[in-house]
Amino acid sequence: MQAEWEELARRNWLEESDSQQKPIPPSVSPGYYFSTTNPFRDQPNAFIEGQEKARQGDLNAAVLLLEAAILQDPNDAEAWQMLGTTQAENENEQAAIASLQRCLELRPNNLQALMALAVSFTNSGLLREACDALRRWIRHNHRYRHLVQDSRGPTSPLQDVLLLFQEAALLNVDGVDPDLQTGLGVLYNLSSEFDKAVEAFSAALSVRPQDYLLWNRLGATLANGNRSQEAVEAYSRALELQPGFIRSRYNLGISCINLGAHREAVSNFLTALNQQRRSQSCSQQQMSANIWAALRIAISMMDRPELFQAANMGDLDLLMAAFQVGDL
């Protein structure tokens, strides 16, 4: 009987029945959804202030300021890029993808946007799109573009790009290129070779030890490779460097769930949601849906039905009181 099921899985039974229905639309996002009420709409120097807010860790305010900057000048590629990376840090993946894609429409060779997009696609399980973004990264990178060849062997898109990055890494005999290593780390995550991904991110961190994004990426790689305890340490480093880093706090909560520390998990999720809410003019929509979903799961493991109901209702105040989570 087990063999029957494995056969089904091999034949991708579910995908076969899919093919009779209309295909799911590709990952092209419908465009960026701007906040409906933006108090910074006409703010001068919105971009610079947005950058400053992001640096301070007030991600929600940063998002609003960057949106304002874009509404004032819709072709500001730098603002789109910053908005994309900030939304990713704020645990809003769809918004991040939409922003970064818009940035790349304006500036197709923007390496940071390509790398950030590859990460977002990886998080969303979109392997082909992630590989595509990384391939474009190499192609637009002066140091490595000569490695790209058009000949496509019978290997998969993932193996193709992985080979490219590995060849590129061999070129760096006298030093580590942290961006290249980040790309390698992302690719090894996609191929589930988590130990190699850990090595790559660690190499990048040796050059940039204060880069909280890298600490989070290392942590996430460790977590997805079932090294939850080490993941917690990496996330803690990231949060020391940037306490407002919502994504890392979300990840920390997830690792707490995996380690069976449900109370700590809930505490982390509530802290993150409170940070988002506390920021100026943040509506319910601007809190991350992912964090709410993870919070529901953590509470469901605690056998407290009244709190689970509160989580479904989105009653943050009740939950914060119940778990004694105060303002940071």
Partner 1 sequence: MFIKRQGRHHYLIELNANVEITLKSRKDYLTGDNSDIIPTDTIKNTVHALAKIKGVNTIEQFSLDLCHHFLTSFNHVLRAKVYMEEAPWKRLNKNGVEHAHAFIYSPEACRFCDVEQNLGTPVVHSGVKDMKVLKTTQSGFEGFLRDRFTTLQETKDRVFCTTVYSRWRYNKVQDVDFDAACCIFIIYSPDSLFLFLHLYTFLWPTFVEEIEIVMPNQHYFTIDMTKMGLNNKDEVFLPLDSPSGNITGTVCRKQRARL
User: Any contact of residue 3 with partner 1 (CB under 8 A)?
Assistant: no
What are the CA-CA distances from residue 207 to residues 114, 169, 181, 189, 228 (Å)? 21, 15, 10, 21, 24
User: Any contact of residue 180 with partner 1 (CB under 8 A)?
Assistant: no
Q: What is the dihedral of CA 283, 284, 287, 291, to 10 degrees?
A: 170
| Residues from 120 through 149 that contact partner 1 (CB under 8 A) | 122-123, 125
What is the rounded distance in angstroms from the CA atom of residue 298 to the CA atom of residue 217?
A: 22
User: Any contact of residue 221 with partner 1 (CB under 8 A)?
Assistant: yes
Shortest spacing between CB 254 and partner 1, in angstroms:
5
User: Any contact of residue 264 with partner 1 (CB under 8 A)?
Assistant: no
Candidate residues 133, 203, 220, 307; the one interacting with partner 1 per rule CB under 8 A: 220
Binding mask 183-202 for partner 1 (x = CB under 8 A): --xx--x-------------
The piece of 69-77, 117-125, 161-169, 236-244 that touches partner 1 (CB under 8 A) is 117-125
The piece of 37-45, 131-139, 169-177, 248-256 that touches partner 1 (CB under 8 A) is 248-256
| Residues from 64 through 103 that contact partner 1 (CB under 8 A) | 91, 93-94
| Residues from 26 through 65 that contact partner 1 (CB under 8 A) | none
Nearer to partner 1 among residue 205 and residue 254 (C-beta): 254
| Size of the residue set binding partner 1 (CB under 8 A) | 53
Nearer to partner 1 among residue 68 and residue 98 (C-beta): 98
Q: What is the dihedral of CA 211, 212, 214, 218, to 10 degrees?
A: 140
User: Any contact of residue 18 with partner 1 (CB under 8 A)?
Assistant: yes
User: Any contact of residue 112 with partner 1 (CB under 8 A)?
Assistant: no
- Burial pattern 67-92, b for ≥16 Cβ within 10 A else e, equals bbbbbeeeebbbbbbbbbbbbbbbbb
- If you count DSSP H runs as helices and E runs as strands, how many of each does the chain have, helices first? 18, 0
User: Any contact of residue 267 with partner 1 (CB under 8 A)?
Assistant: no
Candidate residues 109, 240, 278, 293; the one interacting with partner 1 per rule CB under 8 A: 293
The piece of 8-16, 77-85, 152-160, 163-171 that touches partner 1 (CB under 8 A) is 8-16
User: Any contact of residue 14 with partner 1 (CB under 8 A)?
Assistant: yes
The piece of 15-23, 78-86, 99-107, 137-145 that touches partner 1 (CB under 8 A) is 15-23
The piece of 73-81, 97-105, 139-147, 216-224 that touches partner 1 (CB under 8 A) is 216-224
Q: Which residues of the chain form contacts with partner 1 (CB under 8 A)? A: 1-2, 4-6, 8-9, 13-14, 17-18, 21-22, 24-25, 91, 93-94, 119, 122-123, 125, 185-186, 189, 216-217, 219-221, 223-224, 231, 247, 250-251, 254-255, 257-258, 284-285, 287, 289-290, 292-294, 297, 300, 312-314
